[in-house]
Amino acid sequence: MKAGVYYKNTDVRVEEIPVPEIGDNDVLIKVKACGICGSDIMEWYRIKKAPLVLGHELTGEVVDVGKNIVHLKKKDRVFAIHHVPCEECIECIKGHQSACKSFQTINNFSPGGFSEYLRVSGKSVYTGIMKIPDEISYEEGTFIEPLGTVLRGQRASEIRPGESVLVIGCGLSGLLHIKCAKALGAGLIIGCDIEDNRLEAAKKFGAEVTLKPDDDFNSLLRQKNNGRLADKIIVCAGSVSALELALNSIERGGTVLIFAVPKPEEMVKVDFNPHWRNDITIKTSYGSTPLDHIQAIDLLKNKRITVDDMITHQLPLTDIQNGFNIACNPSGCLKVLIKLDN
């Protein structure tokens, strides 16, 4: 079978590799579509494990199941995810499933979503594969995982009706946060980015106000928000400056959600005194879990959240390098899908 093998962002090769064999407890999926995630082009992180087959935002059709599998059958339309919580450790029991060591370390995919066929094993067979209804296309289904991460983050930030929400970084995740905040009844939604095309997209998808991170940012924010800073801030840009802007732009009693982070060696200096005095909450959100995927599927099925208008590029597996080139250019795309329907 063909697979897109990642060596670095500018070197993703289409190579022939064996179709994975399945065991009694495995499932084989014929991949239909797989999205290029922002983490896929995080070269400083990915290149350490290269060469490898990436791709975790995928949908497909079940083509074979192990003899012990009874809940899935051939021709089922499915979504699949590569890591899931163990549901047994203290972190899982306390509701912090994405902090589960199994969740963070075990990859149940072989080889990855950018391949014609994919073997799913381990606990992902039971809680990481979900059937997708006919109302959701294979293309829309590739958003189940990214939408799930956003829903998890929105719960963590506890957005209440009428509260102002500032989203810093209007790439795909930021735009999904804008869509979800609007669907949940947030008040004024503000999008912030350095790219004009992403600010235009933020307005299209629900932001009433868009701003660039200029020196007079807080003054402009107050002008647009009845003299106040933001009640909730969601950081979707992995840079020190984005985090600093968030910490300087949060209103008294507000919450900053760190959804994206800078590189490990990049540090943010924080004077916690004003945050302590002003009752500021700082939270983090990483990954998505089975509950998040169930909710994402329901929202997509009932068209409470639409995503087909966010797909800007669809390319065949044979053109995967071009897909990575496009995804690495923030001014030229929102979502790039690799299509494997052959």
Average pLDDT over residues 304-323: 96
Strand-pairing partners, residue 3, are 15, 115
User: Are 78 and 29 spatial neighbours (Cβ–Cβ below 8 Å)?
Assistant: yes
The backbone torsions φ and ψ at residue 143, rounded to the nearest 5 degrees and listed phi first, read: -90, -5
Average pLDDT over residues 236-264: 95
Chain segment 199-226, per-residue pLDDT in tens: 999 999 999 999 999 889 999 999 999 9
- CA gap 130, 80 in Å, rounded: 6
Question: What pLDDT is recorded for position 161?
Answer: 94
**Band of the pLDDT at 44, cuts 50, 70, 90?**
confident
Q: What percent of the chain has pLDDT over 70?
A: 100
Question: What pLDDT is recorded for position 265?
Answer: 86
Stronger pLDDT, 42 or 91, i.e. the higher one: 91
Question: What pLDDT is recorded for position 215?
Answer: 82
User: Are 124 and 79 spatial neighbours (Cβ–Cβ below 8 Å)?
Assistant: no
Among 32, 124, 22, which residue's Cα sits nearest to residue 65?
A: 22
Place of tokens 């053109």: 319
Among 166, 130, 163, 160, which residue's Cα sits nearest to residue 148?
A: 130
List domains and CATH numbers for the chain. 2-143+307-339 (3.90.180.10), 150-284 (3.40.50.720)
Written as one string, the DSSP assignment of 206-245 is T-SEEE---TTHHHHHHHHTTT--EEEEEE-S-SHHHHHH
**Is pLDDT above 80 for 341?**
no
Stronger pLDDT, 219 or 263, i.e. the higher one: 219
Question: What pLDDT is recorded for position 251?
Answer: 97
As a whole number, the mean pLDDT across the chain is 95
**Is pLDDT above 90 for 28?**
yes
Distance of CA 230 to the CA centre of its chain: 23
Chain segment 83-142, per-residue pLDDT in tens: 999 999 999 999 999 999 999 999 999 999 999 999 999 999 999 999 999 999 999 999
- CA gap 182, 14 in Å, rounded: 40
Tokens of 110: 């072989």
Question: What pLDDT is recorded for position 301?
Answer: 97
Average pLDDT over residues 298-312: 95
**Is pLDDT above 90 for 333?**
no
In residues, how long is the chain?
342
Tokens of 272: 């916690």
Amino acid at position 279, single letter: D
Distances (CA, A) of 147 to 5, 45, 59, 141, 175: 26, 22, 14, 10, 10
**Band of the pLDDT at 264, cuts 50, 70, 90?**
confident
**Is pLDDT above 80 for 330?**
no
Q: How many C-beta atoms surround the C-beta of residue 61 within 10 A? A: 16
**Is pLDDT above 80 for 248?**
yes
- CA gap 302, 94 in Å, rounded: 30
**Is pLDDT above 70 for 342?**
no
Tokens of 216: 């007079």
Is the C-alpha dihedral spanning 99, 237, 183, 220 positive or negative?
A: positive
